[in-house]
Amino acid sequence: MSQAPVDVSSLGRVAVLMGGDSAEREVSLMSGAGVLEALRSRGVDAHAFDPAQRPLGDLQAEGFDRVFIALHGRHGEDGTVQGALELLRLPYTGSGVMASAIAMDKVMTKRVWRSEGLPTPRWVWLAPERQQREVVMAVPDEIGLPLIVKPPREGSSIGVTKVTGYSEMQEAVRLASRHDPDVLCEEFIEGEEVTCPVLGSGVSAKALPVVRIQAPEGAYDYQNKYFTDDVIYHCPSGLPAAEEAEIQRIVLEAYRSLGCRGWGRADLMIRARDRQPFLLEMNTSPGMTSHSLVPMSAQAAGIAYPDLCVRLLADARLDSGSTPGGAA
């Protein structure tokens, strides 16, 4: 996936947004540190900026020209910081306000995908007024056991429980509701977990190589994602070529249907009994840590980590489509 070299002097003064106030702050700080070092190694005038410690208005006051968003979770990839940057007229990496907001909400994402005929596990949405015991205990009757209970607007497997029996339902819903007033109960797909990044926008968007994830006892949780080396990642995936191509096709459709741009990463499960892939979620500000999957996939496609960061930064824009030096 070769691309013309980027003139880093044209990128101007760059802020790397990192940290923030979401439950994923710790991961964001790791992502931001990696991005900052990578950009500087390519000669970009890049600076760390933590919006949990400074007002976003300082970005404009300090003469920044564009922003690399290395925030994760709420107030980072849910459309809120994107909206603020739109008002400041500061081009930023990744998806715009609408796509970020929809993708952050797994229930809204699934509604869009289902309307487009894309495969996603069956689900039950429990709004706060639908979390009484009798409603909660009826969920397994609708989508079966085991099932997954999660907060629909969190990431990094925070607040997620795999439920194997009716007796576990109430506590799983209680845990998820600590992170989000709404709770998503989702059919469990038995099989292999994979992820597939996308670079670009619209018809020019391209899917990167699929990464197959092999976690200890299937526990691809917060700890294993970021703080252990127990997970085995296969990239190349080792999947049959036709299967990988089908996953990439579905992911591109999923990405475009949400209106994503710049970059993203879809997580999927491949059902063991018939090899049917199911879309779980779309990440519009994926991790960029040493354990992260987009850099791994990009490397397999011949794109080094620093070049990936520069490429994403060069594609920074506003919802209006304007870029630094362009028409507003």
Q: How far lies 59's CA from each of 14, 47, 282, 319, in Å? A: 9, 11, 28, 18
> Of 287, 297, 305, 315, which one is the catalytic site residue?
287
The sheet carrying 13-17 orders its strands as 45-49, 13-17, 66-69
Encoded tokens for 66 = 């564009």
> Of 19, 20, 22, 24, which one is the catalytic site residue?
24
Question: Does 65 participate in catalysis according to the annotation?
Answer: no
Encoded tokens for 75 = 């107030």
3-state secondary structure of 226: helix
Question: Does 156 participate in catalysis according to the annotation?
Answer: yes
> Of 92, 226, 255, 305, which one is the catalytic site residue?
226
Question: Does 7 participate in catalysis according to the annotation?
Answer: no
Question: Does 171 participate in catalysis according to the annotation?
Answer: no
> Of 267, 305, 311, 315, which one is the catalytic site residue?
267
CB 42 within 8 Å of CB 72: no
The residue behind tokens 């996936």 is 1
Question: Does 281 participate in catalysis according to the annotation?
Answer: yes
- To the nearest 10 degrees (0 to 180), the angle between helices 106-115 and 97-104 is 100
Question: Does 78 participate in catalysis according to the annotation?
Answer: no
> Of 66, 261, 265, 317, which one is the catalytic site residue?
265
Question: Does 222 participate in catalysis according to the annotation?
Answer: no
The residue behind tokens 């689900």 is 123
> Of 201, 283, 285, 297, which one is the catalytic site residue?
283
Question: Does 13 participate in catalysis according to the annotation?
Answer: no
Q: What is the CA radius of gyration of the chain?
A: 19
Distance in angstroms (rounded) separating the CA atoms of residues 43 and 9:
8
Distance in angstroms (rounded) separating the CA atoms of residues 216 and 229:
10
> Of 281, 292, 297, 317, which one is the catalytic site residue?
281
Encoded tokens for 50 = 């933590």
Q: Which residues are catalytic?
A: 24, 156, 226, 265, 267, 281, 283, 287
